[in-house]
Amino acid sequence: MGDVLIKCPVCGARNRLTPAQPGRKVVCGKCKTPLPATGPLVVSDGSFAQDVEESPIPVLLDLWAEWCGPCHMLAPIVEQLSVELAGSLRVAKLNIDENPGTAARFGVRSIPTLLVLRNGTEVDRLVGVQPKQEILRRLEAVLGT
């Protein structure tokens, strides 16, 4: 993967990220604030409150399972969104087989399910494999873009 542009959540400056380099911290070139990691954050029932409910920015939560073929079809899109929207949206993944409590809490009955959450509250839900453009269209309302 080549360079990626991400927006600093503090000052709004656009930063060009080069491919990861071990041991190198990623900070904003303007204000020196550490930039969010790219790639989906793996969350669990135990880390959900801290990673999702307390997130200062909206969260796209991918509820999936290892045995689910459609989940694996959606995974590359989720990965792309985590990079492209870093700084304005946190993307997280939750394996429902390993974390049934969160899945039950949100009444997830089929997977893949994408939840859009703000302050831990569901504001939108997409069920099944969705094209990237449809997911982006739905996120626009939440992100105000």
- The model's pLDDT over 116-136, given as tens digits with 9 standing for 90+, comes to 999 889 999 999 999 999 999
Q: Which of the residue ranges 28-37, 86-95, 123-132 has the most confident prediction, judged by mean pLDDT? A: 123-132
| Residue 89 scores a pLDDT above 60 | yes
Q: Is 31 a catalytic residue?
A: no
Q: Which phi and psi angles does 71 have, rounded to 5°?
A: -60, -40
pLDDT number for residue 7: 74
| Residue 23 scores a pLDDT above 70 | no
Active-site annotation holder among 8, 11, 28, 68: 68
Q: Is 8 a catalytic residue?
A: no
Token pair of 52 as six digits? 């999702």
Active-site annotation holder among 8, 28, 31, 71: 71
When computed from its CA atoms, the radius of gyration of the chain, rounded to whole angstroms, is: 15
What pTM was estimated for this model as a whole? Answer: 0.76
pLDDT number for residue 71: 96
In contact, 113 and 63? CB cutoff 8 Å: yes
| Residue 31 scores a pLDDT above 60 | yes
| Residue 1 scores a pLDDT above 50 | no
CATH for 37-143 is 3.40.30.10
Positive or negative, the Cα torsion across 8, 13, 18, 21? negative
> CA angle, corner 93, sides to 64 and 133, nearest 5?
85
